[in-house]
Each structure stands twice: as C-alpha cells, then as structure tokens.
Amino acid sequence: MKLVDEAGALACMRHAQNRVVTVAVDRMTFKHPIEIGDLVILEAVVSYVGRTSMEAEVQVYAENPVSGKRMQTNTAYLVYVALDAEGNPVEVPDLILETEEERRRFNAGKFRQESRLAQL
C-alpha cells in the first residue's frame, strides 16, 4: 500500500505542481498474488480532478524477472488534496482529456467522487 500511495501522490504532485496529502483510499482488491522475487511495477495516472482534490488510478503489476510474465495484481483509487506552502488547499489545473479512454476514466472518477461525497 505504501508504494501505491507514493505512486498516486507523485502523479498528483506532477499534475498540481504542489505537494499533496492523501485523504482517501477507495479500495485495493488483489486479483493475483505478488510472489517473492517478482518485480512490482506501478502505473499511476490522474483520473479525475475537482477544485482542490485529485483522484489517482494506480495499476499494480507483478513481473517474473526470469520469464518476463507480467500479471496485473490490482487497481487502487486514491484521493489527494493539493496544498500550498502554508499547508492550505490550493486549486488544481483541469485535466486535458484528449482520448476516449481519458474521458471514460474521468467520468468514472467523477462518479466515484460523487459517491464518496454522498457518504460524508
């Protein structure tokens, strides 16, 4: 989980050009185990942005370094808030959605964010 949180935070920091703090982890469901000796590969993208918050989608893969076989182990969704130098929330740039996949990911993230807010 630590690696997933760090990967998501880095993607969001790059987008916001500010430091971020983790505010939520939606879920982390493992489809396949990560075996001892496997390489752990993380791919993080900013999937949704609000005014000061961002959602990161983090894909986790395990790769056998001998055979090269790679399996997706899980997907995690985390929410971060961008902070200014004084630690106050700061507005983040909009996402530029260029592909159908980016639009699909954004819309799914918007739905998840609305669901999170409804539970407060």
In this prediction, residue 47 carries a pLDDT of 97
For residue 93, give both structure tokens.
Answer: 């740039």
In this prediction, residue 108 carries a pLDDT of 96
Number of domains in the chain: 1
The average pLDDT across 106-111 equals 96
Domain range spanning residue 58? 2-118
Q: Which of 91, 82, 95, 79 is nearest to 18 (CA)?
A: 82
Torsions phi, psi of 118, nearest 5?
Answer: -65, -25
In this prediction, residue 29 carries a pLDDT of 78
- Tell the residue number behind the tokens 């630690």, with chain if given: 87
The CATH number of the domain holding residue 44 is: 3.10.129.10
- Tell the residue number behind the tokens 């969704």, with chain if given: 77
Out of 19-28, 37-46, 77-86, which region has the weakest mean confidence (pLDDT)? 19-28
Distances (CA, A) of 98 to 11, 80, 85, 91, 102: 18, 23, 31, 22, 7
The pLDDT tens digits of the residues spanning 26-59 come to 878 789 999 999 999 999 999 999 999 999 999 9
Percentage of the chain with pLDDT > 70? 100
pTM value is 0.92
